[in-house]
Structure 1
């Protein structure tokens, strides 16, 4: 037991000596590396060493808060966020996010909402809108959540999670089209994760709404009535396109082939409906998906966002390299 104690003491002394030889920034960088590896407790120990060198390091306090948040110690995360924010504004925006979420996780959503509002007033950043929208959604304030997330998407449309929460908001509001369009975009940005698989299943569920096969020859179609007259024709097109999957001439097609055909029909009708319509949905989503039809890449798009569906997707990629290259070229041009 005495030897074990001496060995442990030697290790602790070695770590302490090691940290003393490093600069403040180097110690914080070591902590960040440990955090990124998922070793949050060791990261916290590094930040403690950093704060021994400089207790006024806003960055050390912020990184400490972030690691504490990941250990689910939300009280400590809140404490260090507030210390970081009191010291300077270099880490203020990200501290608002961790602080708001720490309060929310402590069962204080009203306080979290006020923190997010305060942050949004100071910083024009989509991540503040995103986190604020999630808290509002969880408290049932769908209108506030909607306003925040649509504003955030217009700031930066490449954040997958923003499209996903917007879809969930619109599902709660009972709007099928507006629940689907953000999922399509989400799957484009994030086609192959656990939440992608769930989102894809939700998308198929929306497509199948209102279509019921009562017999071999009879299919009942009902169109959801949500009060959004602008999208009523598209609602009908969704149900009609899914119903055509059962026709004799389509019986030999796979589920993915049907999916691509259905998407072609939906995106086309949406583009044709746009005309002079304005507003978030007509300016953010509809033109994008209509451009896919005009560029003749709905098919590769449909297979790409179906990545979680297994071997048929990979086989299609292997057999359709030219179509996939055309799809890639479209997005390379979009970025430029």
Structure 2
């Protein structure tokens, strides 16, 4: 009789366990959903409480671990999130978000080496997770490891070409290495994506400084290619900044053209010269394909004035806004060109 009773209980458990299991899973999901809504409303403590309730119901629910970690991190309690993120990685070893958040927590805690360790582990586990490459580039940039930052920024751009912050990071990393041409074109690329923010003002100021430094430079330093021993295409392309800036300075002295016209001429000269040198390069790297060839194509169009006004929007705001109002068709033409023109890596 006891055997029959145990057997009956077992059958009942098998019959009803799936329904109960499904309900508890749904309850946990519902709580996490409520928590996300609270997080979005800035009610982090209440959100965290919801996630904890969800984890009591389903201790193996990865999304709950991610969301509670994010709310803790967002509320300035990043260290408390570490235990949840480590648990998340036991459930999902390829969670790029977990590695990225751990890296950010350690970076904020002034432990850059630990942050780099987690970013690299994350990239190894999930190389397609863009923010790992981007945040690693940022950490290297803060340490003034500019070459490493440049390399990581390139990977971040490849994964998300429309991520303006990655373009900006590449520009700053190359500027830190005195690769002014790379930086100039990268800032131009950044401003195409983000033309009117505080960061846009900073980016335009860097462009202006690069040209002013070129105008003041007395000598052109030319380097030779390590294989051919001839002057490298990059040296010729870099020298175009000096020539364009010097020509612009001469025009300014005699009062020829306004600032926007002179900037348009400077950029067109640099883009054209860089594109010409790019044609000489075998086995082109990221810079030549993504920046040099792209802006060389732009220089061949009628969109240069519109482009110049867009990237200098914050510097001449009232003038440029009025110009765009009067020339809406030209702005549309630039937008159509950008949309239609493919960029290579």
User: How big is each residue's C-alpha offset from its partner over 1:136-172, in whole Å with a ceiling of 9 and x where there is no partner?
Assistant: 2323433332222222323332211111111111122
CA distance 1:251–1:34, change in 2 (3 Å): farther
User: How big is each residue's C-alpha offset from its partner over 1:181-201, in whole Å with a ceiling of 9 and x where there is no partner?
Assistant: 211111111112222221221
Matches within 5 A, 1:99-248: 99-125=102-128, 126-212=130-216, 221-223=218-220, 229-246=232-249, 247=251
Matches within 5 A, 1:257-272: 257-272=261-276
SS at match of 2:96: helix
CA distance in structure 2 between the aligned counterparts of 1:330 and 1:33, rounded to whole angstroms: 40
2:260 aligned to which of 227, 249, 256: 256
Aligned to 2:330: 323
- Which segment drifts farther, 192-201 or 245-254? 245-254
CA distance 1:181–1:248, change in 2 (3 Å): closer
Query: Residue 147 of structure 2 contacts residue 177 of structure 2 at CA under 8 Å; is this kept in 1?
Result: no
Instruction: Compute the TM-score of the two structures, normalised by the length of structure 2.
Output: 0.80
CA distance in structure 2 between the aligned counterparts of 1:27 and 1:302, rounded to whole angstroms: 50
CA distance in structure 2 between the aligned counterparts of 1:68 and 1:256, rounded to whole angstroms: 48
User: How big is each residue's C-alpha offset from its partner over 1:39-79, in whole Å with a ceiling of 9 and x where there is no partner?
Assistant: 43333233233323323221111111112222222211222
User: How big is each residue's C-alpha offset from its partner over 1:207-242, in whole Å with a ceiling of 9 and x where there is no partner?
Assistant: 211324xxxxxxx64446688832223333222322
Query: Residue 272 of structure 2 contacts residue 296 of structure 2 at CA under 8 Å; is this kept in 1?
Result: yes
CA distance 1:283–1:59, change in 2 (3 Å): same
- How many residue pairs get aligned? The number is 308
Q: CA deviation at 1:177?
A: 0.9
Query: Residue 129 of structure 1 contacts residue 148 of structure 1 at CA under 8 Å; is this kept in 2?
Result: yes
Instruction: Compute the TM-score of the two structures, normalised by the length of structure 1.
Output: 0.82
Query: 5+ residue gaps in structure 2?
Result: 1-23, 226-231
CA distance in structure 2 between the aligned counterparts of 1:252 and 1:137, rounded to whole angstroms: 40
Query: Residue 244 of structure 1 contacts residue 250 of structure 1 at CA under 8 Å; is this kept in 2?
Result: no
User: How big is each residue's C-alpha offset from its partner over 1:249-277, in whole Å with a ceiling of 9 and x where there is no partner?
Assistant: 97253323322221111111111111141
Aligned to 1:10: none
User: How big is each residue's C-alpha offset from its partner over 1:11-53, in whole Å with a ceiling of 9 and x where there is no partner?
Assistant: xxxxxxxxx9x83323323322333344433332332333233
Rg (Cα) greater in structure: 2
SS at match of 2:257: coil
Query: How big is the alpha-carbon RMSD for the aligned residues of Structure 1 and Structure 2?
Result: 2.6
CA distance in structure 2 between the aligned counterparts of 1:120 and 1:258, rounded to whole angstroms: 44
